[in-house]
Chains A and B, each alone.
Chain A
């Protein structure tokens, strides 16, 4: 099966959807075991690669890009509704 998510950096806890993933669709990338998208992930948006606790940092590009505002399950969509900027608070 072809990759449909991209893990940019090895320490990232989110990956980028290369196409829109439907609910229950298996997310595939080299080096990891496939896992289910728990909700629709729009193309170029982020999917959680692991469970992320409330207050935990969101890592993309190997760097902190945000902080989660609630528990996020592996396979969930990660976006403005469950994270906040460390810099410019919403």
Chain B
């Protein structure tokens, strides 16, 4: 039952989907992307709010890393890249980063290709061409060590750290045991757990990186939020039974399981190690998902207690409800009910149910967020736009 299949890529990676991306390099041409989306609904279109006005080196580094990470993504079989022409993050700068992606890529620029309507027409035709080219590729079996799974939590409630994240932690440990790689981020939600995570690091260097990452997150939180920084452990959290920041954060980091932390990667960066990986990324779900996706994770588990429907384009997201009430009331959005633990369903049984669903999703079954098209694509930014 545990055979997993996917699309082999030229770099030896395996995708569990064979999507064609339509990616604008700048938000000014989102209208063009929307037109293509209406004409070629099978293409995965990624309108966004970035690409110009933010010239700082860190913002540009993030932007290009995310764009190229998504083009390289194993779930992507080919891509249509569309630029405007005068933006900071133009196609000329992006192309060198994706020239060795080993997949069909076509590039257009609205200012050179006759304006928005003509570009949309040409790009839609290109998307159809690439779709037909990749559609003949068969699925083949691949080993578990070619799998990178992301763990995310958002819209959390008091039960997230008790049911859903505990169950996801059990899945994480199972995956690492199988040889797969597991990644999670959300550095603001690691505050108070530096001692725990650093102790689990594979060596002193990784331990130091973990400590520094969490220290930066804590400092930034205090700088930006001032006196409000203490709301990272809020009265609402305490009403929910969490007594300290360490306890709250433990509930969060438990979704990554209990194995050795082998590497810390930057936001959107692909890991070079196997096993459990930490990403130095932000707490907000949308921005966090983009970083985890650009790292090359083929699938994501996402726990939620309040109930967020958010998914990510080109990446199946399995929604794990932390309580039965939200599972029942948002049944069309939730894939797994970890609230069943409260009704006496054993953790082993829930874990088996999650692994079974994961295998089916890897092999092509759509998650709720995927079937509903609940794509969210936002990025971490550092500076405001000028």
Contact = CB atoms under 8 A, between A and B. Distances in A.
B244 A61 contact: no
A19 interface: yes
Nearest to A60: B247
A16 B241 contact: yes
B244 A65 contact: yes
A83 B342 contact: no
B244 A83 contact: yes
A49 B344 CA distance: 19
A18 interface: yes
B79 interface: no
A71 interface: no
Q: Which of the listed residues A2, A66, A86, A87 has the most CB atoms from chain B within 10 Å of its own CB? A: A87
A44 B240 contact: yes
A8 B254 CA distance: 10
Contacts of B250: 60-61, 63, 65
A62 B162 contact: no
Contacts of A85: 192, 243-246
A79 interface: yes
A79 B238 CA distance: 8
Contact of A87 (B192, B254, B343): B192
B350 to A, nearest CB: 12
B196 A63 contact: yes
A86 B76 CA distance: 46
Contacts of B166: 6, 8
Interface in A16-56: 16-19, 30, 42-46
B246 A8 contact: no
Given A61-B254, A80-B238, 4 more contacts: A17-B241, A46-B243, A60-B247, A79-B241
Interface of B: 158-159, 162-163, 166, 192-193, 196, 230, 233, 238, 240-241, 243-247, 250-251, 254, 258, 341-344, 346
